Amino acid sequence: MSRIVFRNANLLDGDQPLRPGSSVVVEEQRISAVGADASIAARPDDRVVDLEGRTLMPGLWSCHFHTCFSNWALASAPLLGLEAQPGVMAIVAQKNITTAMDCGFTSLVCSSSAYNLDHALKVAITGGLISGPRIWACTREMISPGDQADGSNSSWYMEVGNTGLLRICSGPEAFRSAIREELGRGADIAKIAASMGHGVGPAEELESVNRAELAAAVDAAHGRGKKIRAHAASRRSIIDSAWAGVDIIDHADRMDTECIDAILEAGSSLAPTLLFSQRFLAFLQGMLDQGVAMGASFIAEGPAERQRRIDEGRADFENICSVLPEANRAGMRIVVGDDYGVTSLPHGDYMDELALYVKEIGIPPLDVIRWATKHGAETVDRGDELGTVEIGKLADLLVVDGDPIADIACLKDRDNLLGIMKEGVFYKDALGVPGVP
């Protein structure tokens, strides 16, 4: 079996600083050698690729990914997931995961999907019907009645039976049985809405689900050996989610020092998802300034109330921007990913999120790379096989014509991704003939 030997790489292994002059050997699906160029000899039948100092790094991980969100999603709210018939939604979802793979994301940990689409895509990929990233499939999102996302409630007069992407539960046993059923359909991770807020409105300290419901939900998911994530924007919901042992806390808009301590103690991962907040708040402000009505609730609220909600949402956004560096320094397992596919945030804009963390919030670029690689794998307990470039790990690799530490935005131009490899197989190979990139 011939091997692929990457020579003269600027190795960004997903954890440590860049190591120029490195060689990495891929043998079948795995990385079989990593070291200085001089320490690794090529064999006659190897494909030797001289990277001429280009960056070699792990495939990226998006740990908050909605496969079926398309740009029409919020325009046709309130019922997320019912924008089109299931067949069309499946095609949209396939297009979105292809976009992610084209952008270098070889692994996706998903966040709420309609029609069991995440699992369907996973089956299609593992069965060889289509090529695409590794998928951790998510359930629908379990929410309590009257939650901000409960379109069936705000549109009760329509008597719509299908609640789409969402599943309405009330009481611990309702959450437990819903999660067992949803996970039984093949999902790897359950999603629950522990609070309202995050971009669409302020994260008010109201009860969305209570501790008994959270504990039952976590127990149900962990009892089946699966993960669980929670939309938790309010301070109270962050503390309660960490207390219950939620694996991924999403958004955390009102995170403070006490929340940081609670998340660290629980060992949860955090998906801050700040690009959505930034763009959507600007979108809402633009609509208000232009006098454009937005949905029944916004019409009912009037301009002053709309402005109050935007201002409070902006305060939440500014809060997490200010505390995120502290959480990072404290060693929190932060991951990347966001609500791509909603208005103002199209699929494909993934690298703008990484650039926001580095250029606007001041997180060191090496840390953000670690969030997007090593931390993703660790979040789903696959850190032993994925997430970094190390001997024995599966070969999910990117070849980048640029230095993401000097300028993380170099990852944005897809032409700079000369090689995208998943499990030892090139998904994209623009490296030229052997030895001549």
Binding residues for Zn ion, rule: CB under 5 A, are 111, 339
Kindly tell me which of 193 and 218 has the beta carbon lying closer to Zn ion: 193
Between 23 and 111, whose beta carbon lies closer to Zn ion? Answer: 111
Q: 55 vs 112, which CB is nearer to Zn ion?
A: 112
Q: DSSP labels for 380-397?
A: TT-TTTSSS--TTSB--E
- In the bound state, the residue with its beta carbon closest to Zn ion is 339
Cα–Cα distance between 193 and 225 in angstroms, integer? 20
Q: Which of 247, 276, 242, 245 is nearest to 376 (CA)?
A: 247
Q: How far is the CB of 161 from Zn ion (least distance, A)?
A: 24
Rounded least distance, CB 198 to Zn ion, Å: 9
Write phi, then psi, for 38 (nearest 5 degrees): -70, -20
SS3 of 126-189: the string is: HCCCCCCCEEECEEEEEECCCCCCCHHHHCHHHCCCCCCCEEECCCHHHHHHHHHHHHHCCCCE
**Shortest distance (Å) from residue 64 CB to Zn ion:** 6
Half-sphere exposure of 85 (CA within 13 A, CB side): 1
Nearer to Zn ion, 339 or 396 (CB): 339
Residue 340 CB, nearest distance to Zn ion (Å)? 9
Tokens of 139: 């359930």
Q: Which is nearer to Zn ion, 50 or 339 (CB)?
A: 339
Strands, E, within 186-298: which ranges? Answer: 189-193, 227-232, 248-251, 269-271
To Zn ion, the closest distance from the beta carbon of 256 in angstroms equals: 22
Residue (50 or 147) nearer to Zn ion, CB: 147
Beta carbon of residue 339, minimum distance to Zn ion (angstroms, whole number): 4
Neighbours of 290 (CB within 10 A): 7
Cα(66)–Cα(240) distance, rounded to whole angstroms?
Answer: 24
